[in-house]
């Protein structure tokens, strides 16, 4: 199979509603996806990642910008002529056809010789491990099996590019783990340039050669997963990647020292005094003998390998809660974002109307620190923490950009 790189140049998609209202789904997307790599398009719902994928597939026409497959401009090429395989979020397996017929369908369309087509269909069915299910109907398959049929159907015509739209979102947690390894393996074996879309950062990081983070139609950062995790370019990226999520503190830079209240988290050189948002990865703390960061442990979550401490924030967190930038898109629990938001809104409304009293205990800001399990810590203990410098990031309070 020939591998090609994909180049997107200033790709823009504007949707127009019936009332002429315009929504910019993707804006000036500029990226090169290297040949033979597995790239994850990552972002919260509505960030334009699926739109981008469908523009690459040709099912959506870009408003502006060009798409190149290798050196060929395919922007105006019909989807069927682009040589792509697409796996839909719901797989879109034809329910009235057997697995075999589903996989054969693309080959019959290009009038491939029956025997050769069968051979090819079985080859890819074996590759994804469903060759024993060829005579079943899609409804008789589990979600994971359906997903593999969809992949086989996409691969069978040996496309130059494989596109996957939220390929794992319909699977349960266990299958998800299994299938994502499978996708990685299949991609490795075929060497096909693959782009997949997901809102699950863990999923993207675990299998991608490269991840591309998007937010509100704009690319935020691109790179190898570890690199993006270690060097987030802005607050959004820092918050989006990592589980448990990064801890955020309102703080300041004062005389080249990073301060949260009275506690010093570290030092920076050559930065002027300013208010900042300080992000510290949960694994970025260590317990030390001497530190100005004295904290009280609220809870201890033990999982054996390491221990997560839930700790009161050293300063009044209310400021943080009102910072407009931070309140936005809490994307870590991606699946339930919208519900949560709706509930929050309801709560807020009810509270404003005074119909429910605030019974919840005073909301105290907490943060998480993952420490070695060797430390025997009880809830209520006072400990002293130091911050590993490379796990701490400083962001501009207004723009969220890295300071």
Partner 1 sequence: MLEDRHDFKAWLYLLPALILLIVFTFYPIINTFMIVFMVDYDFLYGDYTGWTLTGNIQAVLGHRQFWPAIRNTVLIAFVSVPLSVIISLFIAVWLNSIKKLQGAFQTIFFLPYVTNAIAVGLAFAVIFNRDYGLFNYMLSLFGIDPINWVAPGSPWRFSMIALLVFITWNGLAFKIMVFLSGLQSIDKQYYDAARIDSASRSRIFRKITVPLLSPMIAFITITSFIGAFKEYTAIVGMFGEQMGYRGQLITIVGLVYEALGEPYVAGSVSLAASAAIVLFFMTLLLTIFNMWVSKKRVHY
Q: Which residues bind partner 1 (CB under 8 A)?
A: 57-59, 79-81, 84-86, 88, 90, 92, 94-97, 105-106, 108-110, 153, 157
Residue number with CB closer to partner 1 (13 or 239): 13
Residue number with CB closer to partner 1 (128 or 280): 128
| 32 bridge partner residues | 7
Instruction: Give the residue from 286, 288, 271 showing the smallest Cα distance to 370.
Output: 286
CB of 34 to partner 1, least distance (A): 23
3-state secondary structure of 285: strand
Residue number with CB closer to partner 1 (110 or 360): 110
CB of 130 to partner 1, least distance (A): 18
CB of 58 to partner 1, least distance (A): 8
Residue number with CB closer to partner 1 (137 or 185): 137
What is d(CA 369, CA 372) in angstroms, rounded to the nearest whole number?
10
Residue number with CB closer to partner 1 (88 or 122): 88
Cα torsion 324, 325, 329, 332 to 10°: value is -120
Residue number with CB closer to partner 1 (146 or 247): 146
CB of 163 to partner 1, least distance (A): 9
3-state secondary structure of 222: strand
CB of 37 to partner 1, least distance (A): 21
CB of 196 to partner 1, least distance (A): 16
Residue number with CB closer to partner 1 (82 or 368): 82
Q: Is the dihedral of CA 176, 200, 93, 109 positive or negative?
A: negative
CB of 152 to partner 1, least distance (A): 12
What is d(CA 123, CA 148) in angstroms, rounded to the nearest whole number?
13
Residue number with CB closer to partner 1 (159 or 317): 159
| 248 bridge partner residues | 279
List the strands of the sheet with 392-396, edge to edge: 263-267, 257-260, 247-254, 274-280, 392-396
Using alpha carbons, list the distances in angstroms from residue 29 to 41, 214, 225: 12, 9, 19
- Any alpha helices (H) in 142-289, and if so which ranges? 143-155, 173-190, 201-207, 225-230, 235-240
CB of 78 to partner 1, least distance (A): 8
Instruction: Give the residue from 239, 225, 127 showing the smallest Cα distance to 185.
Output: 127
What is d(CA 139, CA 153) in angstroms, rounded to the nearest whole number?
16
């Amino acid at each position: 199979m020939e591998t090609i790189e994909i180049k997107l140049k200033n790709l823009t998609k504007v949707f127009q509603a019936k009332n002429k209202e315009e929504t910019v789904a993707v804006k000036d997307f500029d990226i090169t996806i290297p040949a033979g790599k597995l790239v994850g398009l990552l972002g919260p719902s509505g960030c334009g990642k699926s739109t981008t994928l469908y523009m690459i597939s040709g099912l959506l026409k870009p408003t502006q910008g060009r798409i190149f497959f290798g050196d060929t401009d395919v922007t105006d090429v019909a989807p069927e002529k682009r040589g792509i395989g697409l796996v839909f979020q719901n797989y879109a397996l034809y329910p009235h056809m057997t697995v075999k017929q589903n996989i054969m369908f693309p080959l019959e369309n290009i009038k491939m010789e029956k025997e050769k087509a069968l051979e090819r269909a079985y080859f890819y069915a074996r590759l994804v491990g469903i060759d024993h299910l060829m005579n079943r109907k899609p409804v008789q398959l589990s979600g994971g099996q359906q997903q593999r049929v969809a992949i086989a159907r996409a691969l069978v015509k040996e496309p130059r590019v494989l596109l996957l739209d939220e390929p794992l979102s319909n699977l349960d947690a266990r299958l998800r783990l299994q299938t994502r390894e499978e996708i990685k393996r299949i991609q490795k074996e075929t060497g096909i340039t693959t782009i997949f879309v997901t809102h699950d950062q863990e999923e993207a990081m675990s299998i991608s050669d490269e991840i591309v983070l998007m937010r509100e139609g704009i690319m935020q950062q691109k790179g190898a997963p570890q690199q993006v995790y270690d060097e987030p370019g802005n607050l959004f990226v820092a918050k989006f990647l990592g589980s448990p999520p990064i801890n955020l503190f309102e703080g300041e830079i004062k005389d080249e020292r990073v301060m949260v209240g009275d506690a010093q988290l570290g030092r920076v050189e050559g930065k002027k005094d300013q208010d900042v948002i300080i992000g510290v990865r949960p694994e970025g703390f260590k317990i030390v003998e001497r530190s100005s960061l004295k904290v009280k442990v609220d809870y201890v979550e033990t999982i054996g390998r390491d221990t997560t401490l839930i700790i009161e924030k050293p300063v009044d967190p209310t400021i943080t809660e009102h910072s407009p930038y931070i309140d936005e898109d809490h994307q870590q629990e991606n699946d339930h974002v919208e519900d949560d938001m709706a509930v929050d809104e309801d709560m807020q409304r009810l509270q404003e109307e005074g119909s429910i009293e605030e019974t919840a205990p005073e909301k105290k800001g907490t943060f998480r620190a993952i420490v070695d399990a060797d430390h025997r810590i009880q809830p209520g203990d006072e400990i002293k923490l130091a911050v590993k410098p490379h796990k701490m990031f400083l962001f501009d309070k207004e723009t969220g950009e890295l300071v």
